[in-house]
């Protein structure tokens, strides 16, 4: 994301200036280096790595080393950690700090069973005093600002988001991201933006609003309701990085959509190699074609492609079909198809 040299920051996270008010959420399996770079170019103001368990950082594994990876052009960058014990968190933080991130973030909101069931992520919302100890320990050893991402509570009977937010601020966090659902909701139901507004009113540090943001109108609405400093967007950005330009997906011209798909594919292949890059790109591809005529027939072909040449052949063939089908319609805004085009979203944290 380019900014004028004399631009003033929108706000700051501790000593880190942030230029912009839209942020790509950390999402397991989705917010990797290529997708983060693409979203940064579109306007995301801050990059988060996917959440990394503290014990995984103690192990020597290629997969977890890759989760720590980021590019200089992504800065500012936050490395997000999962933890449940102070000593392990400190060791994980020390290893993460060797990568020189701009921010360390503690995940207190992941609802995934494998995370919360192990006492990390959203499970910590059941133990606010432990949250305070974890954050205090992290702040003590970190040379960079510490932030946290929370949900509203474990379930509807334990919506303790205000207590947790105050503990976080008292323990030294520099910003708080709030997903407007409880852990038991996962991604069901509507996000409670009014609860996020309560957090914003209760603390002095910046607050990021997260949940049910998929259109430019949603961005304006959540900011109006919550008064938040920034909007964090997860699922709504998959297949629509243009949301960081405050553009609706159905307003993106057909040719532009396919050009970005091809570019994203090449970024994935450059980063992962052809075989893995193509396989991982397929989960983004099915979202990029959302709402386009013929998408239902296109998806099965995209998700079985195994080489760059196959993906490009499918996309370019589709482009040719569109050009010949509608008297130049292929360069206009994408038409909404009539087939069942329900969104399928990831189950990892981030919305």
Q: What are phi and psi of 245, to 5 degrees?
A: -100, 10
Residue 186: its pLDDT value, please? 80
pLDDT band at 188 (very low <50, low <70, confident <90, very high): confident
The CA distance from 233 to 237, in Å, is 6
| Residue 228 bears catalytic tag | no
- Other beta carbons within 10 angstroms of residue 320's beta carbon come to 11
- Select which of 110, 126, 228, 334 is catalytic: 110
Contact 104, 90 (CB under 8 A): no
pTM of the model: 0.89
pLDDT band at 334 (very low <50, low <70, confident <90, very high): very low
Residues of the chain with CATH 3.20.20.70: 11-245
Q: Considering the chain, what percentage of its residues have pLDDT values greater than 90?
A: 66
Radius of gyration of the chain measured on its C-alpha atoms: 20
The CA distance from 32 to 63, in Å, is 12
The CA distance from 74 to 91, in Å, is 25
The CA distance from 103 to 23, in Å, is 14
Provide the CATH topology of domain 253-331. Answer: 1.10.1200
Residue 330: its pLDDT value, please? 40
Residues of the chain with CATH 1.10.1200: 253-331
- Is the peptide bond preceding residue 334 cis, with omega within 30 degrees of 0? no
Token readout for 100 is 């020189």
The CA distance from 341 to 324, in Å, is 23
Residue 60, pLDDT above cutoff 70: no
CATH class of domain segment(s) 11-245: alpha beta
Contact 169, 205 (CB under 8 A): yes
């Amino acid at each position: 994301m380019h900014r004028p040299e004399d631009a003033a920051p929108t706000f700051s996270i501790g000593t880190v200036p942030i230029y912009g008010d839209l942020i790509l959420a950390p999402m397991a399996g989705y917010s990797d280096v290529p997708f983060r770079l693409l979203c940064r170019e579109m306007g995301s103001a801050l990059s988060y790595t996917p959440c990394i368990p503290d014990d995984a950082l103690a192990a020597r594994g290629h997969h977890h080393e890759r989760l720590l990876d980021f590019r200089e052009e992504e800065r500012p960058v936050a490395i997000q950690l999962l933890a449940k014990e102070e000593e392990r968190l400190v060791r994980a933080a020390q290893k993460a700090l060797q990568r020189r991130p701009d921010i360390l973030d503690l995940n207190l909101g992941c609802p995934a069973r494998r995370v919360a069931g192990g006492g990390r992520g959203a499970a910590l919302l059941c133990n606010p005093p432990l949250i305070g100890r974890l954050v205090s320990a992290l702040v003590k050893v970190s040379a960079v600002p510490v932030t946290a991402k929370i949900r509203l509570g474990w379930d509807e009977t334990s919506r303790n988001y205000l207590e947790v937010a105050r503990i976080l601020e008292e323990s030294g966090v520099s910003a708080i991201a709030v997903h407007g659902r409880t852990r038991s909701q996962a991604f069901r139901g509507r996000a409670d933006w009014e609860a996020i507004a309560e957090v914003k009113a209760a603390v002095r540090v910046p607050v990021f609003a997260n949940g049910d943001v998929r259109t430019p109108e949603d961005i304006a609405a959540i900011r109006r309701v919550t008064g938040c400093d920034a909007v964090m967007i997860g699922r709504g950005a998959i297949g629509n990085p243009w949301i960081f330009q405050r553009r609706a997906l159905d307003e993106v011209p057909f040719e532009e959509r396919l050009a970005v798909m091809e570019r994203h594919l090449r970024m994935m292949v450059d980063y992962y190699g052809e075989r893995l890059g193509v396989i991982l790109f397929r989960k983004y591809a099915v979202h990029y074609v959302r709402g386009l005529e013929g998408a239902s027939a296109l998806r099965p072909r995209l998700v079985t492609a195994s080489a760059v040449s196959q993906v490009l052949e499918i996309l370019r063939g589709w482009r040719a079909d569109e050009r010949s089908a509608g008297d130049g319609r292929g360069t206009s805004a994408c038409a909404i198809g009539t087939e069942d085009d329900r969104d399928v979203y990831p189950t990892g944290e981030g919305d």
